[in-house]
Structure 1
Amino acid sequence: MVGGTSLKGRYVVGRYPLAHNGMGEVWPARDTLLDRAVIVKLVNAAMLDAELVRRFRREALLTARLDHPAVPAVYDLGEHDGRPYVVLQKINGVALSDLVAEQGPLPIPWVASIGAQVSSVLIAAAQIGLVHRDIKPSNVMLDHSGAVKVLDFGLAVMHDDERYSRITLTGQSLGTVGYMAPEQILGEATDHRTDLYGLGGTLFDLLTGRAPFDGITTTTTLRHQMDEPPPRPGHLRPEIPAALDDLVHTLLARRPQDRPSSATEVYAALAPLAHNPPPIPGVVTDRTDAVQAYAAIIGRVPPTIRADAPPLPGQANLDVEQTAKQAELLHAAGEYRAAARQWRRLAEHQARHRGEEDPSVFDFRRRAALAHVPLGERDRALRQLHVLLQDRVRVDGPEHPAVLDLLHQIERLSTGQSGLRESRRRGLNGGH
């Protein structure tokens, strides 16, 4: 391939390739029909054979099948001079391996944000039975909006689907030493927990600036992986929160059954730590980005963070404890409106099943009201708290500890003594 070559009379490649790997070449290109920048990956001509072609096409099909915003879109699949190629979405960003090399260990909120985004990809992959098998810093990019893209599905497998059966090349390693799970090293069966191991290694790298297992030779690195306890990033960086240190340590467990049970569990642990990441000059834009604006609104929709998600409002089998945990996670992550919506949902459920006067109904409504304060909606919060105060006085009387506590909360939100006097007047007199 030479610069300026036209594929299918439509895709014109740039002057120089972006990268070479074992399978082929990666080129910048221009889609002249739709007038947009794209990426073209071609099979290496020197290694061209039926097995490699099959594996290349399979990677394109798997990437296309995993429909997720953090996976590059597949635009086209074709052949040029006998060499298969795939046309992919162009990502304006930097590989995490390069980012750490330039910046050193990343701030905790960024590590959590990146990890939570990768976890969301692994949730989607698990839903269709796909295992990536090569999660590592060089296969994850951070774009200018702060969004993650997971790349290179060349080693992926999809269980129970003959079209995506395991394909290997003679002498090729099925993963990357230091990041591939022990079951991969031993040639044993892999599943979604294999990708969790790779995510653990990636998080360790982002937190410490070094690989979790590192030896002078490949053999010594493998020996460290197989024979030594999984490392703790907190030993190298003491300010790492204990919960994050424990999570990474567990993700790197030698046995799959000792790792978290699912990517949803990992997401739930990382999301609360991903609040207010600091700027990364020259990497993530410091202005309002269109993707960030879009994601901020999407983020207000309560996420389903477990496979057996709580049912819709009105259904009798709502998991109150899990939904309350969801609401707390959302609030901790700064998604206050979504948290308020979950708490109101809980209040309605408890009112239907335990009665309007149950203490949990009051507590959930109070939480929902207070969630509007960090959104700058103090007046709305106060209106809801005043209504709640009236109901509590009616049920428990004006001197009940819960009523007095609610009055103090209203006092803190009100401006000046007039706010407190009005609260007392409206509450203790039934709102008249």
Structure 2
Amino acid sequence: MAHSSQPINARRGLLMAALQMSVVSLGAASAQSAAFAASTPKVSASASASATQGKALIKLTEAKLKAAKAITFSSKTSFIGLGAEAPAPTTATVAWQRPGQFAGSIIVNGKETGKVVSTADGGYVYDAVSDQYRKTDKGDTLELTLMTTVQASMSVLPSMVGMSFPMVTQMLTQKHPFLMELPPNAKTAVQIRSYPGQLNGVAVNHITQAITGAMSATFHLYTDRKTNLPVRYAILAKNSGKETGIQIDFSDFKTESAPLPESTFQYTIPTTAKLFTPPAQTETQEQPILPAGAVAPDFAVQDVTGKTAHLADFSGKVVVLDFWSTWCGPCQASLPATDKLAKKYKGKNVVFLPVCSWDDKSAFTPWVKQRKNWTMKFYFDPAGRGAKNIASGLYKVSGIPTQFVIGKDGKVAVGFVGYDGAEGEKKLSNAIDKALAGS
């Protein structure tokens, strides 16, 4: 699965922000849309707003999620301001359990349209409408399990349904699920405020985070004042003068300290179901990348501190060159697997060089800072979204993720386009071994 190299538009950027929680690609700052404001809790004029209180409340919620062995909930995802493009609200019943178990059902218009199950042995995503399924890879952690589920869901299920389902669960496993972290030098103004109020008969704290500047959006979190668990989460922005956003309403949200019953993660695929086969790409979809045997062109990239590195700096080593972007869903699904390989080959004559392409530095910086414990060191192409970037200009890349294995002789050994899960990871590992052996 490969992503187009062309920058996504603002509307899609909004949806991917909710999915990945790592980049906001939005338009100008905006007020709440009419659809959202109609159900916003009423707040008295005397209610105080406190940034300190807002951050403290978010920390309480984060602590509960982090301490839980398992979490179960139902969620209803609605898309605001998309007009005829907006799909019907999607309801998901979810159960996930550390270290790597996940199960859920997808319900649209009262009918179960999909099922997801992932365990220590792997799992699958089943689409009841087309009666087909796709296998998911084994994940050593809940985060990796959800990454593979995201990738499979968005290929098997209708795009908007596939997006709304896993984004809720992936969001909840982030270090700061409801707080968009920005670097200290970002040219944005962030305000977090907490307002007490009522929502659907529940006493809640309404916590807002308004980001203004080059990136503009308002994040809304409602937590139950008794349990500090989520009741609603929404992201709102303005796209070409029109309000757009995503709203997620939670119900029956529970954290568990004991393991869930084994039956929670058991499900038999119908015997009529067919294995999903990705459509073959045509020549018009992808152009040939730099071929094997070609000398890998040298280039200069920058790390998160602005320090420059060149491909030539790693002469005599096997280099795994990975072109990716913060807004690319398949890239986000593939990177954890690549980082796992980086750990495997740590201390050997192998360098992993992930280069962020067709992207903005303002998105790259916070993305990297949220992944300080990763093995790989990330770099940014100074050309940004410009036409003369490294990926397309030097390596003939037209879709990402694209990975190259460069041999110790400085020539391309092999190139891979897209993300193929465990099979792709195996192919990349084999290619590295061959390059190390000099064959």
**Smaller-chain TM-score bracket:** under 0.3
* Bigger Rg, structure 1 or 2: 1
Q: Which has the higher contact order (CA 8 A, sep 6+)?
A: 2
Larger helix proportion of the pair: 1
